Amino acid sequence: MIGPLRRWLPVASWAREYSRETLAGDLVAAAIVSIMLIPQSLAYALLVGLPPQVGLYASMAPLVLYAIFGTSRALAVGPVAVASLMTATAAAQVATQGSPEYLGAAIALAMLAGLLLVVMGALRLGFLANFLSHPVISGFITAAAVQIAAGQVGPLLGVKTHGESLVAILVSLVPALDRTHVATATIGVACIAFLLWARRGLGPLMLRLGTSERAADVVEKVGPAIAIAAATAAVWALGLGARGVPIVGEVPSGLPTPALPPFDATLWTKLAVPALLICIVGYVESISVALTLAAKRRQRVDPDQELIALGVADIGSAVSGGFPVTGALSRSVVSFDAGAQTPAAGAFTAVGVGLATLFLTPLLFHLPKAALAAIIIVAVLSLVDFGALRRTYAYSRADFAAMVGTILVTWAGGVEAGLLAGVAVSIFLHLYATSRPHVAVVGQIPGTTHFRNVARHAVVTDPEILSLRVDESLYFPNARFLEDLVNDAVAANPAVRHVILECPAVNTIDASALESLEAINHRLADGGIAFHLSEVKGPVMDRLKRSHFLQELSGRVHLSHFDAVASIKPDLARRTRNAPRGRVAGSSPVPNRVGSTQRRS
Amino acid sequence: MIGPLRRWLPVASWAREYSRETLAGDLVAAAIVSIMLIPQSLAYALLVGLPPQVGLYASMAPLVLYAIFGTSRALAVGPVAVASLMTATAAAQVATQGSPEYLGAAIALAMLAGLLLVVMGALRLGFLANFLSHPVISGFITAAAVQIAAGQVGPLLGVKTHGESLVAILVSLVPALDRTHVATATIGVACIAFLLWARRGLGPLMLRLGTSERAADVVEKVGPAIAIAAATAAVWALGLGARGVPIVGEVPSGLPTPALPPFDATLWTKLAVPALLICIVGYVESISVALTLAAKRRQRVDPDQELIALGVADIGSAVSGGFPVTGALSRSVVSFDAGAQTPAAGAFTAVGVGLATLFLTPLLFHLPKAALAAIIIVAVLSLVDFGALRRTYAYSRADFAAMVGTILVTWAGGVEAGLLAGVAVSIFLHLYATSRPHVAVVGQIPGTTHFRNVARHAVVTDPEILSLRVDESLYFPNARFLEDLVNDAVAANPAVRHVILECPAVNTIDASALESLEAINHRLADGGIAFHLSEVKGPVMDRLKRSHFLQELSGRVHLSHFDAVASIKPDLARRTRNAPRGRVAGSSPVPNRVGSTQRRS
């Protein structure tokens, strides 16, 4: 039984069962995730174009709030790469990076995205996320990851670049490469090399050095923290800050003061579409991670409640001066593997980040920005999946086209244009595909009651009967197609006196298709041809009964296609009387009374 | 056999069979249509906001060109009310009514619409017209007709009104009503009364006066010509022009000089979307009339060639200084009923209009504009069909919503906004409907091999087997729905060891749905549950074989749902061994070899 309290506050359902064992699992997971999250949150603040402490702010309140409202027991919420890039793009449209307005825009985006998510959750509008098809999301994430990596090459090498799209970034990056700052680039490249090695080589090395397997496993995850510590130490020891290596500098310590973002109707209007895209992309990624992890322990995730939980997390980020957050794939998996048992692990992670904000910020003064760029580059490279292009191409050309369109438009025109283009292409190609459905002229397999495509099977047809099977719902994109089809088929077969439409795959008939069926019926009647339907599904038939179509139909609606042919040519029935009487039935048979006497007056 | 000549020049297929009888029928039809068309063309020029002779220009070249390129033997091409309103709206966005730029914009719209139609015909893009669903077109025409009628109330009463939407027109009309010009209003209202009476009363009156039925029938159609003649005579005789009744005035006589419209990239860019909407709305209406009339004589209409023919007609209109044209419902029906046998009737009509342009224009000097307004109002009232709202509501709430949305947005925001809103709402509601497909948990009807919805039938289920039937194609709008569904169903039934998805109504599985099926398969496998499919259609199966899904599937693909259950629980098969073995078959059975041994390693 799920009461309203448990429904809206999932914390109520796990808090009372909280035990010492659960606590132990959650604490270990929180410790590891904190050590991952601190450098990542600083890096993603850099990616958005904000002071590093803003990343820390976005990694506290949201985690606590998700622990209260979220239904996934392992999701690690906080700043992520793609949402950070989208935030940077949107904020740059309304303010200059580095200005207070830019920070205000990022905070307003978090607030807007949060409010949109809460509204979507309350109104159960989660299906909106479905309009981002998987190839579009997949292509978008690959494109965004490449663009993020390209955007960090500048900070990594100590040169300035700018641009809201991959093309613009490359145009500003390539001519600047000869101004590479050697000391900065050395730190950056060394960090990348270490991080790539740490992923595969650090754990085994620790094992060889005699640590336990558990400890070796942990050390692997804390590569970024080690890289940051080493790079900061090197910059401090060698005095590289004074030699032009860009460093983080003064980071204010202390927790953020709760505040509301700027309420400015013009600003919010401009940020509405970007905020919607940020929250939908964030939600899609987050729910997919949550569902996958929940399935491993046969737990339940409520997609509508997840909208609310992520929305509240975003609002919490905004109120504490942070930018949009969502569920992070990499940290969630680490948290799950490390033994997180409840959302409390997220709250404990927030405590870890809070302690860092209170006590560690002085240590960040000498942190080179190139090290943060290296962390971002290595993190996003795992999101790049060009193999998906090949797999999608093999499976579906239409999905491949949507994917390629998304990638190319993202690179040429930026993240928002790319996503919107992907959605438009997916919808268009879907409508196009269903506008030309598969249609078969069918004939009877001799000696049986079965009807099959005349082009594929040896079947018997009657010159006076034209049997057509349409393998698609009939609705506006293909309504006129059906009219043309019947028009052409009848013009090409002057002997035809009966047209039968076999409908086992017709899941719906909308008003446009109904109008087309009525037009077909009247035109056929004008030419002295009767129009019949067969194997109409129950729900479709229920709806047809609410129109005048059945009264005006010149022919009849038949339970099975065999019945239709047999009622027109009774000798056919005699021919097959001794054949096995297994019937070709639609999944929802039409009630018997329909196929009776609805002849046209 | 249709050679390329006949394909691209349908005139070639009927010209050689042309006979004296065909000529007689065509000439009679052309005479009647000419007498209808001349007043209508003047009126529609007024509706667009152009000098009256432009209406005559749009009624010559297009008719001749359609006779050469068109495939309908009865379609009467020329100016029509709705396209004229759309032209006026679009031209007003780039120029002031009455200026040479305004005429240039109207001509450019005809050229653009023509070019777009030719391109659509050559590339076989006629399916684009399908995106205007029938309820949207129907609602749009009703809304546009009401708006046209409201817009003509000003000219009818001799007061000035303006506005691009019904709301704007009414706002300017209502306060102006007390400035009604009595003489003008008297002429206008008298014309309306006469025209309404002529439709029903003129024919019977002529019959009583002793004319032949044929003549009486003809006289009915020429009501507008009579009204114009009488109104002009009255204005001339009473000298009303000098008393402030707005009259047409000087109309230049002579045929138009061929010329090209202004080539101006900025102008053409601004007019591109309106031109696309004009050509699609015009095409949709035209093809529907053509198909209906062709069916009555079992003739063929080629929708792609119709695009080219209407496009060439529009280009012809532009080159001869006219505005966008299309096939007209009322005149086509009259031409058909009057015995038009070939497209030559249209060419003869053009000759009739040409003669009027050469010799009758001096007679138009005293023609009161109120009479033209009356002709427009009476003509468009026949397009208003509020009954369609009721019929659509009864049949489909989604279609009704699209229809109401189209009407309201057209009235509030104008024709372009209305059409685009209608298209957006139709597509959205379709995606929404398919995003929550009908799903049934199915069980076995005892003693048979049939499976039905557990909620509707007395069926047998097994606690270890969950059988789900989805009545919709699986694609991006419902992909995640399926994941949630299976996730919830399994969480609610802890005893389940097998999930079987019955797919007889699944016409396609796109890449998003494939990804969801893979996710479902892996998540179920993580929870120790096998995932099976049954009754997968041939084309869907062909495509699944191009992915890794079948190799990774933890369960199997079964030919029928009964086979699936029987292979999991052989005792079920024994229980029904003596039952009739009629199989529940999908429309395309899956090849036998699929359901064999693709168990997960």
Distance from CA of B85 to the nearest CA of A (A): 24
Concatenating the DSSP letter of every residue in B72-94 gives -SS--EE--HHHHHHHHHHHHTT
Contacts of B473 in chain A (CB under 8 A): 472-473, 507
Contacts of B437 in chain A (CB under 8 A): 507
Nearest CA in chain A to B503: A587
Q: What pLDDT sits at residue A592?
A: 31
Q: What pLDDT sits at residue B45?
A: 94
Count how many residues are written for chain B: 601
Distance of CA B506 to the CA centre of its chain: 28
Q: What pLDDT sits at residue A574?
A: 59
Q: What pLDDT sits at residue B264?
A: 84
Q: Shortest CB distance from B130 goes to which of A134, A477, A502?
A: A477
B430 has a pLDDT exceeding 60: yes
> b/e string for B112-151 if b means 16 or more Cβ within 10 A?
bbbbbbbebbeeeebbbbbbbbbbbbbbbbbbbbbbbbbb
Distance from CA of B59 to the nearest CA of A (A): 28
Nearest in space to A406 (alpha carbons), one of A89, A131, A44, A90? A131
Nearest in space to A409 (alpha carbons), one of A395, A420, A398? A420
State whether B476 and A430 contact (CB < 8 Å): yes
Cα–Cα distance, A233 to A408 (Å, whole number): 41
Contacts of A581 in chain B (CB under 8 A): 582
State whether B516 and A134 contact (CB < 8 Å): yes
Distance from CA of B321 to the nearest CA of A (A): 33
Nearest in space to B235 (alpha carbons), one of B244, B223, B224? B244
Which stretches within A49-133 are classed as H helix? Answer: 52-57, 61-69, 81-92, 100-122
Unique residue bearing structure tokens 């015909």: B121
* Regions of chain A with pLDDT less than 70: 1-7, 572-601
CA-derived radius of gyration, chain A:
31
Concatenating the DSSP letter of every residue in A109-124 gives HHHHHHHHHHHHHHTT
B515 — contact with chain A (CB < 8 Å)? yes
Distance from CA of A370 to the nearest CA of B (A): 37
Q: How confident is the model at residue B86 (pLDDT cuts 50, 70, 90)?
A: very high
Unique residue bearing structure tokens 């035109």: A523
**Cross-strand bridge partners of residue B460:** B444
Q: What pLDDT sits at residue B330?
A: 84
Q: What pLDDT sits at residue A449?
A: 78
Cα separation values, B550 from A374, B12, B517, B531, B532, Å: 40, 55, 10, 11, 10
Cα–Cα distance, B27 to B31 (Å, whole number): 6
Nearest CA in chain B to A453: B588
State whether B469 and A587 contact (CB < 8 Å): yes
β-pairing, A498-502 vs B439-444, is unpaired
Q: What crossing angle do the helices spanning B134-157 and B20-48 adopt, rounded to 10°? A: 70
State whether B291 and A483 contact (CB < 8 Å): yes
* Mean pLDDT within B508-522: 91
| Per-residue pLDDT reduced to its tens digit, B451-482 | 888 887 888 888 899 999 988 899 988 888 88
Distance from CA of B572 to the nearest CA of A (A): 20
State whether A543 and B432 contact (CB < 8 Å): no
| Per-residue pLDDT reduced to its tens digit, A293-332 | 887 777 778 888 999 999 999 999 999 999 999 999 888 9
Distance from CA of B263 to the nearest CA of A (A): 29
Q: What pLDDT sits at residue B597?
A: 31
Nearest CA in chain A to B535: A587
User: Cβ distance A531 to A524 under 8 Å?
Assistant: yes
> b/e string for B476-485 if b means 16 or more Cβ within 10 A?
bbbbbbbbbb
Nearest CA in chain A to B561: A587
Distance of CA B179 to the CA centre of its chain: 39
Unique residue bearing structure tokens 């706002």: B171
Cα–Cα distance, B513 to B527 (Å, whole number): 21
Chain A segment 372-431 residues within 8 A of B by beta carbon are 391-392, 394-396, 398-399, 426-427, 430-431
β-pairing, A451-453 vs A439-444, is antiparallel
β-pairing, B465-470 vs A498-502, is unpaired
For chain A, give the mean pLDDT: 86
Chain A segment 15-34 residues within 8 A of B by beta carbon are none
- Indicate the pTM of the whole model: 0.78
Q: What pLDDT sits at residue B500?
A: 95
Cα–Cα distance, A184 to A243 (Å, whole number): 10
Cα–Cα distance, B313 to B279 (Å, whole number): 11
B366 — contact with chain A (CB < 8 Å)? no
**Cross-strand bridge partners of residue B439:** B470
Under DSSP, the state recorded for A170 is: H
**Cross-strand bridge partners of residue A196:** none
Chain A segment 124-153 residues within 8 A of B by beta carbon are 127, 129-135
Nearest in space to A351 (alpha carbons), one of A215, A255, A220, A229? A255
Chain A segment 462-501 residues within 8 A of B by beta carbon are 469, 471-473, 475-481, 483-484, 487-488, 490-491, 494
- Own/partner contacts of B24-27, CB < 8 Å, gap of 24 or more, are B24/B339, B25/B338, B25/B339, B25/B340, B25/B341, B25/B345, B26/B339, B26/B340, B26/B341, B26/B342, B26/B344, B26/B345, B26/B348, B27/B345, B27/B348
Top-confidence range, A105-119, A340-354, B119-133, B510-524: A105-119
Distance from CA of B306 to the nearest CA of A (A): 12
State whether A396 and B537 contact (CB < 8 Å): no
Q: What pLDDT sits at residue B575?
A: 57
| Per-residue pLDDT reduced to its tens digit, B357-370 | 999 888 889 999 99
State whether A480 and B129 contact (CB < 8 Å): yes
Q: What pLDDT sits at residue A53?
A: 92
Its ipTM equals 0.77
B133 has a pLDDT exceeding 60: yes
State whether A505 and B510 contact (CB < 8 Å): no
Cα–Cα distance, A378 to A389 (Å, whole number): 21
Contacts of A130 in chain B (CB under 8 A): 431, 435, 476-481
Q: Shortest CB distance from A399 goes to which of B426, B510, B584?
A: B510
* Burial label, A99 (beta-carbon count in 10 A; 0-12, 13-18, 19+): exposed
Cα–Cα distance, A20 to A23 (Å, whole number): 5
Distance from CA of A544 to the nearest CA of B (A): 7
CB-based contacts of A348: which residues, under 8 Å, 6+ apart? A26, A27, A29, A30, A31, A34
Amino acid at A127: F
Number of H helices, E strands in chain B: 27, 8
Concatenating the DSSP letter of every residue in B397-432 gives HHHHHHHHHHHHHHHHH-HHHHHHHHHHHHHHHHHH
Degrees, nearest 5: CA angle B573-B579-B583: 75
* Disruptive mutation site among B138, B141, B287, B507 for chain A (greatest number of A CBs within 10 Å): B507
Contacts of B290 in chain A (CB under 8 A): none
Share of chain B above pLDDT 70, in %: 94
Cα–Cα distance, B163 to B9 (Å, whole number): 42
Q: What pLDDT sits at residue B147?
A: 92
Distance from CA of A541 to the nearest CA of B (A): 11
Cα–Cα distance, B143 to B145 (Å, whole number): 5
B309 has a pLDDT exceeding 80: yes
Distance from CA of B2 to the nearest CA of A (A): 12
A45 — contact with chain B (CB < 8 Å)? no
State whether B476 and A426 contact (CB < 8 Å): yes
